[in-house]
Amino acid sequence: MKRRDALKIMGGAIASLAFADSIGGSLRKSASAEERPIFHKDLLSPPGGKRVIVIGGGFAGVSFANTMRELAQDAEVILLEKNPFFVSGPSHIDYSVGLKKLEDAARSYYPLREKGIRIIKTEVGGIIPEDNKVITGKGNITYNYLLIATGIRLADEEILQLTENPAFNAHAWELEGTIELRRRVEVFKGGKVVVSVPSAPFKCPPGPYEMACLLDEFFKRKGVSAEIIVTDSNDKPQPPPLAQKWLTVFEKKGIKYMSNSKVVEIDGANKRLVTDTGDKIDYDMTTLIPPNKAATFIRDSGLGDPYVDVDPTTFKSKKVGNIFAAGDCAKVPYTKSAYTSIYQGKNAAHYTAIGMGYNVKEPAPIHGICYPYTSSVESMLIRVDWEKDGKVIKAIADDPKSDYRDSRTVWESTLLKNLFGF
Ligand SMILES: Cc1cc2nc3c(=O)[nH]c(=O)nc-3n(C[C@H](O)[C@H](O)[C@H](O)COP(=O)(O)OP(=O)(O)OC[C@H]3O[C@@H](n4cnc5c(N)ncnc54)[C@H](O)[C@@H]3O)c2cc1C
């Protein structure tokens, strides 16, 4: 993409950002009229050569920033995050059915500040790789090295009627939807509940099936008569090593499973979902997870579409030498999960530090562990180990057990402790 085209797109992105921060600032005098919208003041003075910017304070970004702080003690580490605080994604599931309070899964960024990581609360609207610049709602920032860790973007626009009518749906793949889903679950009087699964890859592959199981249990316990239906865009439940186990669990619980049923329209007025084959599925309550994509500025800055094209070992961009990406926004063979995102962030920091000239050892390859709920008292196990280059070495899956449910609780609190110290 030509620089001028990229700048025009960035201008549009900035104009459309819902910034709480004021954009303001003086326009660069030399900018042409066409370029002007993107130019506002530089937020920080130019970097000294060791400025590392992190976009996104989720599992990957926080892990990267912490590791960078340890490995490159004289580097300037700055994390840009649009949300006021962190909330752990896995706990969205627990909260939706009343198993956990949200505040128990929330953390402030103060523990990072105390380590010397600078946190700037702002939304990033674009990157100009050739200028080493990030465009934020508070001004432009120049970097020496950049990590993109913005997670996934939910592509509501791919479901007809959804962008215009967000209230037709509530799902746990983002925080506001999670809070609304909790409310809807609590007041539900009975009927058909449709859980709709997007095409893989998506964030937390077992998540929608966990949600179906927990909703089923919740309504049965409450004495609410509910028929749970899973409409899946995929040909089998995800991730593939758990596919047969999910089908067995659904059969036992009486959950109806529909494969190859990709929802393309939500007709909320008539409480009806429409699939790509034209099937119509009526519902009384739905929790539809839209297709998972990544921030549009990734595509607009030429770094990949929709995910950032990176080397699966080093997490370095295949296009630009001083840009790295980790976690759900990176095009890697690893599961889009909290667990792998922590390790991706850590490994990306090692390779960034190596690139900056620090004497740092190469890290171990990525692995993933997860304990998906089949009920509030039982979880399954899935563990995947990858080679350095991203090839799967082995995948282990095991049936539901109460021990795995206990492990899940320890697992998530260990992840949070790893990132925030408690
Ligand atoms: C319901 C649910 C259940 C899950 N269960 C599990 C589980 O059991 N096990 C597991 O391992 N994983 C689970 N996950 C998945 C896990 O939460 C994600 O895979 C993980 O959060 C990805 O980490 P990340 O850092 O890549 O992205 P995120 O954690 O999504 O972080 C991205 C960050 O970037 C910020 N950001 C985005 N765009 C911008 C911007 N333009 N400017 C500034 N900041 C920006 C966001 O605000 C966010 O803080 C679950 C997720 C959900 C939703």
Which runs of consecutive H residues, i.e. helices, occur in 145-256?
A: 175-187, 207-222, 243-253
Distance 150 CA to ligand 1 centre (A): 8
Residues 168 and 120 in one domain: no
**Nearest alpha-carbon partner for 122 in 205, 38, 224, 19:** 19
Query: Residue 24's pLDDT is what?
Result: 33
* Residue given tokens 């090692």 in the structure block: 350
Q: Which of 268, 292, 316 is the last residue of a domain?
A: 292
Domain count, the chain: 2
State the sign of the Cα–Cα–Cα–Cα dihedral 283, 270, 292, 166. negative
Residue 84: how many other CB atoms lie within 10 Å:
10
In a domain, 375, yes or no: no
Residues 7 and 143 in one domain: yes
Query: Residue 148's pLDDT is what?
Result: 99
Residues 235 and 337 in one domain: no
Q: For residues 294 and 291, give the distance between their C-alpha atoms in angstroms, rounded to a whole number.
A: 10
In a domain, 385, yes or no: no
Distance 149 CA to ligand 1 centre (A): 9
**Residue 303 identity:** L
What is the DSSP code string of 345-407? Answer: HHHHHHHHHHHTT---PPPPPPEEEE--BSSSS-EEEEEEEE-TTS-EEEEEEEEEEHHHHHH
Residues 345 and 243 in one domain: no
pLDDT in tens, 343-386: 999 999 999 999 999 999 999 999 999 999 999 999 999 999 99
User: Which atom from ligand 1 is nearest to the alpha carbon of 408?
Assistant: 8
Q: Which of 292, 307, 333 is the last residue of a domain?
A: 292
What does the block give as tokens for 342?
């922590």
In a domain, 407, yes or no: no
Q: Is 80 in the pocket of ligand 1 (CB under 6 A)?
A: yes
Q: For residues 331 and 319, give the distance between their C-alpha atoms in angstroms, rounded to a whole number.
A: 13
User: Which atom from ligand 1 is nearest to the alpha carbon of 88?
Assistant: 17
Above 50 in pLDDT, residue 124?
A: yes
pLDDT in tens, 14-33: 444 433 343 333 333 334 44
Residues 69 and 208 in one domain: no
Query: Residue 377's pLDDT is what?
Result: 98
Query: Residue 393's pLDDT is what?
Result: 97
Query: Residue 22's pLDDT is what?
Result: 37
CA 199-204-210 angle, 5° bins = 95
Reported as half-sphere exposure (CB side, CA atoms, 13 A), residue 176 has a value of: 5
Distance 31 CA to ligand 1 centre (A): 37
Counting Cβ atoms within 10 Å, is residue 63 exposed (0-12), middle (13-18) or buried (19+)? buried
Residues 298 and 264 in one domain: no
Q: For residues 172 and 391, give the distance between their C-alpha atoms in angstroms, rounded to a whole number.
A: 30
Q: What is the mean pLDDT of residues 116-143?
A: 97
Residues 138 and 25 in one domain: yes
Residues 77 and 116 in one domain: yes
Q: What is the mean pLDDT of residues 37-47?
A: 80
Distance 89 CA to ligand 1 centre (A): 6
Q: What is the mean pLDDT of residues 402-413?
A: 97
Q: For residues 89 and 94, give the distance between their C-alpha atoms in angstroms, rounded to a whole number.
A: 10
H or E stretch covering 228: strand 226-232
Distance 95 CA to ligand 1 centre (A): 16
Look at residue 287 and give its three-state secondary structure.
Answer: strand
pLDDT in tens, 241-258: 999 999 999 999 999 999
In a domain, 357, yes or no: yes
Query: Residue 39's pLDDT is what?
Result: 54
User: Which atom from ligand 1 is nearest to the alpha carbon of 326?
Assistant: 26
Distance 58 CA to ligand 1 centre (A): 6
What does the block give as tokens for 356?
């900056």
Residues 303 and 204 in one domain: no
Above 70 in pLDDT, residue 200?
A: yes
Distance 26 CA to ligand 1 centre (A): 35
Residues 263 and 343 in one domain: no
Residues 175 and 277 in one domain: yes
User: Which atom from ligand 1 is nearest to the alpha carbon of 86?
Assistant: 49
Q: Is 121 in the pocket of ligand 1 (CB under 6 A)?
A: no
CATH number of domain containing 125: 3.50.50.60
**Nearest alpha-carbon partner for 214 in 107, 373, 105:** 373
Residues 251 and 201 in one domain: yes
In a domain, 315, yes or no: yes
Q: What is the mean pLDDT of residues 281-298?
A: 98
In a domain, 130, yes or no: yes
Average pLDDT, the chain: 92
Q: Is 119 in the pocket of ligand 1 (CB under 6 A)?
A: no
Which protein residue's CA is at the shortest distance from atom 27 of ligand 1? 151
Q: Is 58 in the pocket of ligand 1 (CB under 6 A)?
A: yes
Above 50 in pLDDT, residue 12?
A: no
Radius of gyration over every alpha carbon of the chain, rounded to an integer in angstroms: 22
pLDDT confidence bin for 38, thresholds 50/70/90: low
**Nearest alpha-carbon partner for 261 in 198, 191, 192, 204:** 198
In a domain, 420, yes or no: no
Could you give the percent of the chain with pLDDT greater than 90?
A: 90
Strand partners, 81: 121
Q: Which of 267, 292, 317 is the last residue of a domain?
A: 292
Residue pair 172/93 in contact (Cβ under 8 Å)? The answer is yes
Residue pair 210/99 in contact (Cβ under 8 Å)? The answer is no
What does the block give as tokens for 247?
């089908």
Which protein residue's CA is at the shortest distance from atom 34 of ligand 1? 56
Q: What is the mean pLDDT of residues 142-159?
A: 98
Q: What is the mean pLDDT of residues 146-151?
A: 98
Above 50 in pLDDT, residue 87?
A: yes
pLDDT in tens, 77-86: 999 999 999 9
Strands 330-331 and 308-309: parallel
Q: What is the mean pLDDT of residues 49-56?
A: 98
In a domain, 409, yes or no: no
Where are the strands (E) in 118-210, listed by range? 118-121, 124-128, 133-136, 139-142, 145-148, 153-154, 191-197
> Residue 117's domain spans which residues?
3-151+294-365
Strand partners, 42: 140
